[in-house]
Structure 1
């Protein structure tokens, strides 16, 4: 993010009468937020055409209201735009807040309450707040600019950025608390022994703020779900070979479970691993589909059928794995792929855990994966509502601010309430995770997390639907003010499908409750 225009230099003071004289196509000035812009050389390339700038209420006039009805403040922060500034209106100062890297939003409901000065929370300490501050600055300076470029060109996230995260300890921190953090220097001077799920939640939510869903899955999303089975069940030799290169960003890993034959029905997968007679190798045949990061992964943590039932095998791409990129409704920067295993000969040492115990290994990671998705869904919905609130406050319709429309206020009111409820639900579950061991989490939280995910994705549906209704045609346009809404509307459904569909999640939550239902309970 660039600095506010008047933070860089003192501009010459100009009278409004002087600006009014510059109202011709070859000599065109306008005023936006007290700054005077010379558009004489820009008019020919103006994306909206010359006629817009030549209108009598714009050429030589104060176009602040018109500008913010069509554009966002980021355009004024671009170096090219700032070069057009020739002065500032005498006796006037800027009234617009120009966002700076790392700062909190001042818009009501744009931030979770624990970040606001007048609110208290029992969940967060100084280490959480320090992490949030430093993480936001890091994301604003490095992640968001990269995400914008990759969203446009569809290429994979820059490995150098992933490697930077590795050096900062953030790749390891994205996997939650655990032994893998011991002895590491972590970002924001967090001590490994104090790192908890709230720290991880903060990292995920700050990353989510960039708003580019495809990029965020591409930005090591495969590691978050593909590496834990190796950490938790892999042999010491396997961990020694794989873990550090992946955490350093030198190698990339993905989780390969879903098939065209079996999505949420994990038991229905058909990829088969036949053990050789000498027991030294597995011969793997089959395909996987919709594999996040699969197109550029070096390793595939793969669920397979075996003679013993089910197993998990880590399969290096170098053994002959082929991938084909899939084009989904979000950016190809995610590397979503169709993966083909054709007679791949995998050394038995790449077996994860025990042959025949594949399903427990696969299921063991689902709670954390779904919880991470909830962290992102909650923050993503909130970010969209901030855009909608800003739009409502600066847009005019029928000669009046959009905020005068009661129906729009009602829509936003319900969205605000649901966002607050999502965060409160998430914080409660996160607190329980911090106070339960792995076994108790599986017993008591699997259903809770499943229900939370199902409900949050329903909330995101409401946000997406109402977002388009409030923004109108802009909410369907990939550029301009409505771009965040269009992207959200195009990509929010991923979280309702990945990691288990809403229907499967709701059913899981109820089935777990049925198992815990007391036998003596009656109406």
Structure 2
């Protein structure tokens, strides 16, 4: 079984990577059901949702519940569907076209419901899960506070045991809580005795609980975002979720899943924006022909498609890893599986949210002035996309978590990063590396992926050696390492998917072209981030020596990316949407 983060130090067999082409008939049926529901039931009400028409969001969530789309991750014994994690990702991707509805759905089914699925006791599961799976009750997740966002453990909300021992009395405020206006159940956090960070299940009708006004937001306007105010709120002691003082275990494991699902939603939104842009480019006439025929528009289409392809490949690869771990462990502990792949969850979140922002921005550009008006859908997609880099831990926090988690596992002996770095040091002493110039372009991009791993080990090894225990204070260096790690996983996922399709003699479509574009456009950024990091850490002869090593790793023969992007654009313009 592949461990979390192990992709950096071990070769990956493409046949072992789960890809969208591996979806079963059941998976495809689920995806189609969700897509149909979104298109036929949600999209016709988009304008009303944006205006927060009273009762509409709840009505739509209840309809989703009737189709089983709220209980995917809830075990059958508690009224759910008990589907695999692939289905969870498919639902998140295909419901994304619902805009604000997708946000409400994701908050309810993910971070709202799953804390009880993963950490609730038997009585709590029986009491809450059947109603949450059916839509009779709606859930929300209340972690953020006015003074505690990314630093969740600095929360000020307090919980004091009542004199009769029957209740915890909560005082404090939670802020920016999705679904607050319609939720019946809140998973929230408070400190018992001032220091024991603990999770609680709080019912809407709890005495002492009130809500603030709706936030007026830039995007996702149809979703409810309000504050929770606890003023001597009486929460029964039996509503403690998990163990007292172990609320961080609940919070952080749930955020892993939230990041993972958010990435899938970003892929769905990016595909939607891309399809709108392609359709418009084919219809919009300028200078006597469709703008889709112009080179700079085709360049945009080629780059957008490559980013979507990489994000889609990494999301389903990660889903396959989680599902495989669940199948190979006796207890099927989802939280444990997500913890194992916490690095990959953060990678997915950062990469997919930034890929969506890129695609949404370019879609608006293809629409020109019309893209800036509410008359066309890309305007809303553009506004809605921006929150994803803030949701589920900002991208900056996730960039710190990635190398931090890797180093922590290496120190515990759970990940052989140190041994790999030592082996690399020996390799550096060998004769000069040859330029990556294989006549087979796919072998070349695979070689560049391997070199990216070496670059990570080179820079990471030097950073650990230089800063030791104080490396956490070097956030810029950690951010650069994180970028190298993220792009390595994305490149390898894209390339591995193409190789797998070729090996299985399936129609590989334009996968190899997309993989080439993504790697050739991304690898120079890996070198740049490494160069920046080395220049920040070293000076003089030591810097020049390491830059020479980096130059050896980074040499490659360029290809005609203009021609490849044109091929991609022409094929996808013919299809009229993103399809590989």
- TM (norm. structure 1) is 0.70
Is 2:299 the partner of 1:410?
A: yes
Classify the secondary structure of the residue corresponding to 1:409.
Answer: helix
Cα 1:220–1:381 change in 2 (3 A) is closer
**What displacement does 1:340 show?**
0.6
Alignment of 1:352-367 (within 5 A): 352-367=241-256
Task: State whether residues 447 and 509 of structure 1, in contact with CA within 8 Å, keep that contact through their aligned partners in structure 2.
Answer: yes
Partner of 1:131: 30
Partner of 1:466: 362
**What displacement does 1:311 show?**
0.4
Alignment of 1:98-497 (within 5 A): 123-155=22-54, 157-173=56-72, 176=73, 180-182=75-77, 186=81, 192=82, 195-210=83-98, 212=99, 214-219=100-105, 221-307=107-193, 309-319=196-206, 320-324=208-212, 325-437=214-326, 438=334, 441-479=337-375, 483-497=376-390
Task: State whether residues 157 and 219 of structure 1, in contact with CA within 8 Å, keep that contact through their aligned partners in structure 2.
Answer: no
Choose 263-272 or 456-465, whichever is displaced more. Answer: 456-465
Choose 371-380 or 441-450, whichever is displaced more. Answer: 441-450
CA distance in 2, matches of 1:478, 1:164: 27
Classify the secondary structure of the residue corresponding to 2:56.
Answer: coil
Task: State whether residues 78 and 126 of structure 2, in contact with CA within 8 Å, keep that contact through their aligned partners in structure 1.
Answer: no
CA distance in 2, matches of 1:392, 1:162: 34
User: Aligned Cα RMSD in Å?
Assistant: 2.1
CA distance in 1, matches of 2:87, 2:270: 20
Classify the secondary structure of the residue corresponding to 2:70.
Answer: helix
Task: State whether residues 118 and 335 of structure 2, in contact with CA within 8 Å, keep that contact through their aligned partners in structure 1.
Answer: no
Task: State whether residues 228 and 365 of structure 1, in contact with CA within 8 Å, keep that contact through their aligned partners in structure 2.
Answer: yes
Alignment of 1:494-505 (within 5 A): 494-505=387-398
**What displacement does 1:168 show?**
2.7
CA distance in 2, matches of 1:444, 1:358: 19
**What displacement does 1:326 show?**
1.1
Cα 1:467–1:246 change in 2 (3 A) is same
Partner of 1:66: none
CA distance in 2, matches of 1:379, 1:217: 13
CA distance in 1, matches of 2:152, 2:55: 28
Task: State whether residues 378 and 456 of structure 1, in contact with CA within 8 Å, keep that contact through their aligned partners in structure 2.
Answer: yes
Alignment of 1:77-88 (within 5 A): none
**What displacement does 1:154 show?**
4.9
Task: State whether residues 157 and 218 of structure 1, in contact with CA within 8 Å, keep that contact through their aligned partners in structure 2.
Answer: no
Task: State whether residues 157 and 333 of structure 1, in contact with CA within 8 Å, keep that contact through their aligned partners in structure 2.
Answer: no
Partner of 1:68: none
Structure 1, unmatched stretches of 5+, are 1-119, 187-191
Structure with higher Rg: it is 1
Over residues 227-279 of structure 1, what are the superposed CA-to-partner deviations in whole Å (9 max), with x where a residue is unaligned? Answer: 21122222322222222222222222210001111111111111111112332
CA distance in 1, matches of 2:221, 2:306: 33
Task: State whether residues 57 and 101 of structure 2, in contact with CA within 8 Å, keep that contact through their aligned partners in structure 1.
Answer: no
Task: State whether residues 160 and 170 of structure 2, in contact with CA within 8 Å, keep that contact through their aligned partners in structure 1.
Answer: yes
Cα 1:330–1:439 change in 2 (3 A) is closer
Over residues 382-426 of structure 1, what are the superposed CA-to-partner deviations in whole Å (9 max), with x where a residue is unaligned? Answer: 110111111111111233321232111111110011111111111
Task: State whether residues 140 and 185 of structure 2, in contact with CA within 8 Å, keep that contact through their aligned partners in structure 1.
Answer: yes
Classify the secondary structure of the residue corresponding to 2:172.
Answer: strand
Over residues 338-373 of structure 1, what are the superposed CA-to-partner deviations in whole Å (9 max), with x where a residue is unaligned? Answer: 111111111111111221111111112111111110
CA distance in 2, matches of 1:368, 1:512: 16
Classify the secondary structure of the residue corresponding to 2:197.
Answer: strand
Cα 1:156–1:408 change in 2 (3 A) is farther
Over residues 85-120 of structure 1, what are the superposed CA-to-partner deviations in whole Å (9 max), with x where a residue is unaligned? Answer: xxxxxxxxxxxxxxxxxxxxxxxxxxxxxxxxxxx9
Aligned residues: 388
Q: Which has the higher helix share?
A: 2
Task: State whether residues 142 and 188 of structure 2, in contact with CA within 8 Å, keep that contact through their aligned partners in structure 1.
Answer: yes
**What displacement does 1:183 show?**
7.7
